[in-house]
């Protein structure tokens, strides 16, 4: 078991750096909203819709990327995703119309992210680590994505201000290209099917007939709505309130910094406490933080406090949600099943990114979307409180005994 943990550390290192780059770049896209919209005379809905398409394509491609990773190993999937990510960033730097922006930032980067983000990478981590280390390992890998947000956002803003948004995207493409050689560290192999293990079809059937699986996906939908709305629109929201672009960038960076601690803590707690109960608590806390933020006058201090508090709760849902999937359905088909759950996350992300821009263009305010985010938090807390964290065979046995 000790050798498994030692070998798993290299896998964890490669996974962490890939997530740092993949998600660090992606979390900075909101910084491009204002300069691109201003240069081309777009309303905020054009850029918002392109990012919404990105999240939707990401979600739709995720189960297929996960299934390929489960069957053939994650290396080829991550490598292909890295190539598409780089091509998408390069094409985005030359985008001068809504259609070219949608194809580059939306479709190409969306597919690229499906191969280089949580569902595939956390599946690798889960297969590489022993069960007692699995939740903590997922927390560490998820925290790496948050470190990328903290580390790369100030640099992205500096690039935009120093060399313009077009060249900034080319530099980010260079960073994304580092993902491709890092595939060598993953050393992921598909788990051989043992007697009694589920096939892909059986796993899909078990998930689709499980109320707990659907409750988990509905909760993750809310997570996607909230994080993309905040990530894309918070800088513009703060500028509308009289604060600077630097303040917005700092707040997003604080979200990334504090999420390092939040995701690690969530992963560690998930190894000791009920993950569904932890998810319920997280969504209730998100509702409280949003209500507090929008109820007081916006200032640098309140914005920074919001970034710290929301950061601690930001991606803490990821290791817990994937941990529940692993506990209930096992790890053999985890990337695919985790990808299905993540599809719902990305449907929420699509709506959070697009509705945020559309609501602003129609009403001149984000107030309705903030209220929706609070109501959805309460809904997510309710559905996660009903999730049962037991292997699917035990759940069937308990139902049969009733």
Number of domains the chain contains: 1
For residue 273, tell me if it sits in a domain. Answer: yes
Give the number of other Cβ atoms within 10 Å of residue 107's Cβ.
20
For residue 100, tell me if it sits in a domain. Answer: yes
State the Cα–Cα distance between residues 69 and 85, nearest whole angstrom.
17
pLDDT of residue 357: 82
Predicted model pTM: 0.74
Give the number of other Cβ atoms within 10 Å of residue 189's Cβ.
13
Cβ atoms of residues 49 and 354 within 8 Å:
yes
For residue 58, tell me if it sits in a domain. Answer: yes
pLDDT of residue 183: 87
Q: How buried is residue 399: exposed, middle or buried, by Cβ count under 10 Å (0-12/13-18/19+)?
A: exposed
pLDDT of residue 331: 64
State the Cα–Cα distance between residues 382 and 279, nearest whole angstrom.
10
For residue 265, tell me if it sits in a domain. Answer: yes
Contacts of 390 (CB under 8 A, 6+ apart): 327, 328, 398
Cβ atoms of residues 117 and 226 within 8 Å:
no
Cβ atoms of residues 278 and 270 within 8 Å:
yes
For residue 349, tell me if it sits in a domain. Answer: yes
For residue 255, tell me if it sits in a domain. Answer: yes
State the Cα–Cα distance between residues 219 and 350, nearest whole angstrom.
15
Token pair recorded at residue 114: 């499906």
- In 3-state terms, the chain is what percent helix, strand and coil (to 5)? 85, 0, 15
Q: Tokens 């200032």 identify what position?
A: 299
Cβ atoms of residues 386 and 238 within 8 Å:
no
Cβ atoms of residues 253 and 154 within 8 Å:
yes
Q: Tokens 């529940």 identify what position?
A: 324
pLDDT of residue 165: 93
State the Cα–Cα distance between residues 349 and 177, nearest whole angstrom.
25
For residue 41, tell me if it sits in a domain. Answer: yes
Return the beta strands (E) in 9-107 as ranges. Answer: none
DSSP of 171-202: HHHHHHTTHHHHGGGT---PPPPPTTPPPHHH
- Dihedral sign of CA atoms 286, 292, 295, 299 in order: negative
The 3-state DSSP class for residue 320 equals helix
Cβ atoms of residues 99 and 91 within 8 Å:
no
For residue 194, tell me if it sits in a domain. Answer: no
Residue 307 zone, left/alpha/beta (φ > 0; ψ -120 to 50; rest): alpha
Cβ atoms of residues 139 and 265 within 8 Å:
yes
DSSP of 217-253: HHHHHHHHHHHHHHHHHHHHHHHHTT--HHHHHHHHH
Range of the domain at 289: 2-189+199-401
Q: pLDDT in tens for each of the 402 residues of the chain? A: 444 445 677 788 888 889 889 988 988 888 898 889 888 988 777 888 898 889 889 888 888 888 888 777 788 899 999 999 999 999 999 998 999 999 999 999 999 999 998 778 877 887 777 777 776 777 777 777 677 777 887 888 899 999 999 999 999 999 999 999 998 888 766 555 555 556 667 777 877 778 888 888 898 899 999 988 998 889 889 998 999 888 988 898 888 889 888 888 887 888 778 888 999 999 999 999 999 999 999 999 999 999 999 999 987 888 888 778 877 777 666 677 877 888 888 889 888 888 888 888 889 889 999 999 999 999 999 999 988 877 765 544 443 443
pLDDT of residue 370: 95
Residue 289: give its domain's CATH number.
Answer: 1.20.1250.20
């Amino acid at each position: 078991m000790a050798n498994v943990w030692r070998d798993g550390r290299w896998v964890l290192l490669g996974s962490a750096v890939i997530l740092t780059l993949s998600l660090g770049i992606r979390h900075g896209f909101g910084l491009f909203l204002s300069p691109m919209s201003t240069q081309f005379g777009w309303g905020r809905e054009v850029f918002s819709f392109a990012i919404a398409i990105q999240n939707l394509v990401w979600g739709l491609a995720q189960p297929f990327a996960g299934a390929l990773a489960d069957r053939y190993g994650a290396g080829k999937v991550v490598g292909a995703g890295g190539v598409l990510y780089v091509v998408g960033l390069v094409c985005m730097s030359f985008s001068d119309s809504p259609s070219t922006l949608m194809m580059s930032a939306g479709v190409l980067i969306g597919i690229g992210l499906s191969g280089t983000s949580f569902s595939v990478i956390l599946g690798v981590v889960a297969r590489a680590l022993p069960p007692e280390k699995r939740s903590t390992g997922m927390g560490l890998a998820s925290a790496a994505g948050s470190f990328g947000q903290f580390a790369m956002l100030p640099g992205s803003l500096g690039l935009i201000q120093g060399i313009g948004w077009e060249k900034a995207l080319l530099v980010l493409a260079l960073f994304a290209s580092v993902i491709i050689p890092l595939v060598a560290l993953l050393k992921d192999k598909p788990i051989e099917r043992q007697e009694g293990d589920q096939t892909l079809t059986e796993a899909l059937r078990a998930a689709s007939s499980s109320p707990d699986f659907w409750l988990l996906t509905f909760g993750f939908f809310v997570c996607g709505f909230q994080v993309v709305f905040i990530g894309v629109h918070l800088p513009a929201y703060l500028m509308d309130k009289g604060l600077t672009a630097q303040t917005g960038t700092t707040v997003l960076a604080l979200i990334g910094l504090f999420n390092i601690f939040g995701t690690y803590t969530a992963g560690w707690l998930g190894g000791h406490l009920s993950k569904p109960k932890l998810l319920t608590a997280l969504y209730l806390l998100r509702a409280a933080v949003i209500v507090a933020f929008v109820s007081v006058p916006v200032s640098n201090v309140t914005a920074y406090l919001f970034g710290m508090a929301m950061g601690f709760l930001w991606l803490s849902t990821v290791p817990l949600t994937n941990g529940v999937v692993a506990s209930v359905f096992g790890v053999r088909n985890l990337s695919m099943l985790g990808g299905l759950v993540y599809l719902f996350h990305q449907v929420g992300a699509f709506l959070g990114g697009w509705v945020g821009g559309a609501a602003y263009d129609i009403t001149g305010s984000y107030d309705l979307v903030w209220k929706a985010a609070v109501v959805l938090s309460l809904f997510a807390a309710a559905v996660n409180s009903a999730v049962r964290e037991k292997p699917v065979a035990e759940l069937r046995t308990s139902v049969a005994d009733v």
